[in-house]
Each structure stands twice: as C-alpha cells, then as structure tokens.
C-alpha cells in the first residue's frame, strides 16, 4: 500500500507556465491524508513560495524545496544543505558577469537577487512572488545558501548548459530546472535525498511511494522508487528514468484514492508500463 506521494511543481503540477495550482488538487491532498498517505511537494522553488501555493493544505503535507536542499514539515526543518561561501560568491559573480543571465541565491527564508533588468525583478517579485532581498554588493550575502540558479529569459540553450557544466561541473551539480533555469546545488543534494529523509522519519519503504516529475532535476527522485511517473511532455532522458508516464498527476491521485492506496490496482486499471 502507498504511504507517500511526492510531486514536482513546475511542468508537473504547474502546467503551461501556471503560477497557481489547480483547485481540484487540494481536496485530493486532504483525501490522501485521510488514507494515511503523506503528500510531499518536491520542487526547485523556495519554501516560502511553495507554502503560499499550497496555503489551503500546507499544514497537512510536507515540502522538499530548493531541489532537495531543504526539507520542512509543519515548520520543522528536517535538514538544510549549504554551499561554502567562497563558492557561492564565485557562482553569483560568474552569472552576473554573463550577458543575458540573472541569478538567485537561495537561503531558507528568501532569495538574494541583484536584477539587471526590470523584467527579472518583476518576474521574481510579482509573477512568481518569491521572497527576495535585493542587494547592491555580493558582500551582502551573509546567510547560508543552499542553491544558486541562473535565469535566461529566452530559455536555457544547449550552449548555456554546456558552458555552466564545463565551468562548475567539477564543483557542484549543475542541472536544468525548467525552461529558463539552470540550478547549482551541492553534489549530495537532490530531491531523492529529501524523499529518503521522509521515508526514514515515518518508516516508509521505497515501494510504498509514488513520485512524479518532468525535468532532469527530478531524475534522482524518479529512479529512487518503483512507482515513478514522468509527465508525457518530459524530455526523453527523464522518461527513461521513470517507470510510467501520465498526462496529469491528478488523474493518478484520483485513481489511487479510489483504490484505497493500492497502486497495483491503479496500474491494472489504466496504466501501461513503458517498454
């Protein structure tokens, strides 16, 4: 029987650039809890932003934020990763110096930003609605940082991915995180680590978990459990990492609830295992 469901947000629960969750998700999370199934939101987003998105049910679920850099349930921090300060400064200076690139530097409660354009400031503050601290000097970065990200307005191109991996791939994990973002996280940080913390905390086995994702930053999580779903629009490498595919997370959650948490019954009903 399933005891934990974990899902990515952007491109998975948040489709087509949406910045608010579908209303039908919240009663599903409540029903999962009634069945004894913990719902975990697992994202590259900041915790404060995720908590706002899930406000109607935030106290009935758990969070993995910053691509696994922080795990929080009911305001209790399970763990928080961080970069060495020297590497943080090297990363943000490199991003700031690159034409067309903007950065975020993630702390537990806010992002450090130094916008070069009005578009980026508006995106962070008014569109995505992150908690941000605007700085004028990199010396103002004092809080422990668990993730640095680069944003490119036109979308991350293969050339950019190669550039960042060649420059920092020997110092940290460099992974795409949606259409316009590349994330830099410590080598040991990923969403699977957060998942394992919840498994350990509640005595849950990998075979008692279902996970959903669509991007390369979801691969470690997808590969960590047998019941893993890639979104139908996911990149080929992400699909290869998952056992199954789906058009929408909510469809699987509805079937799981009807099946009382029996995932094999869900699979017998409607899911064809990929070749």
Sign of CA dihedral 48, 141, 154, 156: negative
56 and 128 part of one domain = no
150 and 230 part of one domain = no
Of 185, 200, 219, the last residue of a domain is 185
Tokens found for residue 62: 């758990």
Q: Can you give the pLDDT at residue 252?
A: 96
90 and 181 part of one domain = yes
171 and 207 part of one domain = no
Does residue 200 carry a pLDDT above 90?
A: yes
Give the mean model confidence (pLDDT) for residues 178-185. 88
118 and 238 part of one domain = no
Output the domain CATH number for residue 40.
3.40.50.1000
Q: What are phi and psi of 214, to 5 degrees?
A: -140, -10
98 and 121 part of one domain = yes
Output the domain CATH number for residue 160.
3.30.1240.10
DSSP assigned state of 272: P
Of 134, 162, 185, the last residue of a domain is 185
Q: Can you give the pLDDT at residue 275?
A: 34
Report the alpha-carbon angle 268-269-270, nearest 5.
105
Question: Which pLDDT band, with edges at 50, 70 and 90, does 51 fall under?
Answer: very high
Does residue 257 carry a pLDDT above 80?
A: yes
Check if the beta carbon of residue 162 is closer than 8 Å to that of residue 112: no
What is the number of domains present in the chain?
A: 2
Alpha-carbon distance of 220 to 235, in angstroms, equals 15
Of 160, 185, 210, the last residue of a domain is 185
125 and 33 part of one domain = no
Tokens found for residue 172: 């940290």
Let me know if residue 275 belongs to a domain. Answer: no
110 and 73 part of one domain = no
Tokens found for residue 121: 């400031």
Does residue 125 carry a pLDDT above 80?
A: yes
pLDDT tens string 130-147: 999 999 999 999 999 999
36 and 164 part of one domain = no
Closest CA to 186 of 196, 170, 172: 172
41 and 75 part of one domain = yes
Tokens found for residue 78: 């399970």
Q: How many CB atoms lie within 10 A of CB 271?
A: 18
Question: Which pLDDT band, with edges at 50, 70 and 90, does 178 fall under?
Answer: confident
Residues pairing with 104 in the sheet: 149
Does residue 273 carry a pLDDT above 70?
A: no
153 and 209 part of one domain = no
Domain with 128, as residue range(s), is 85-185
DSSP three-state, residue 239: helix
Let me know if residue 89 belongs to a domain. Answer: yes
254 and 266 part of one domain = yes
């Amino acid at each position: 029987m399933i005891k934990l469901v974990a899902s990515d947000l952007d491109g998975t629960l948040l489709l087509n650039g949406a910045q608010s969750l579908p209303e039908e998700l919240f009663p599903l999370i409540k029903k999962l809890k009634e069945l004894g199934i913990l719902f975990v939101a697992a994202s590259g987003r900041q915790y404060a932003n995720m908590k706002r998105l899930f406000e109607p049910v935030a106290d009935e679920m758990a969070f993995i934020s910053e691509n696994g850099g922080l795990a929080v349930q009911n305001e209790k921090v399970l763990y928080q990763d961080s970069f060495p300060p020297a590497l943080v400064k090297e990363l943000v200076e490199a991003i700031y110096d690159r034409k067309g690139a903007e950065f975020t530097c993630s702390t537990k409660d806010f992002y450090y930003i130094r916008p070069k354009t009005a578009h980026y400031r508006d995106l962070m503050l008014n569109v995505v609605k992150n908690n941000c601290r605007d700085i004028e000097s990199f010396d103002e970065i004092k809080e422990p940082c668990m993730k640095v990200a680069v944003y490119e307005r036109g979308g991350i191109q293969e050339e950019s991915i190669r550039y960042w991996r060649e420059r920092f791939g020997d110092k940290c994990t460099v992974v795409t995180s949606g259409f316009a973002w590349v994330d830099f996280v410590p080598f040991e940080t990923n969403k699977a680590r957060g998942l394992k913390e919840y498994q350990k905390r509640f005595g849950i086995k990998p075979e008692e978990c279902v996970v959903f994702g669509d991007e390369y930053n979801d691969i470690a999580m997808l590969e960590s459990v047998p019941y893993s779903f890639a979104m139908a629009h996911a990149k080929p490498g992400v699909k290869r990492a998952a056992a199954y595919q789906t058009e929408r997370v909510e469809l699987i959650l509805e079937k799981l609830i009807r099946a009382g948490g029996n995932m094999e019954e869900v699979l017998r009903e409607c899911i064809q295992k990929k070749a």
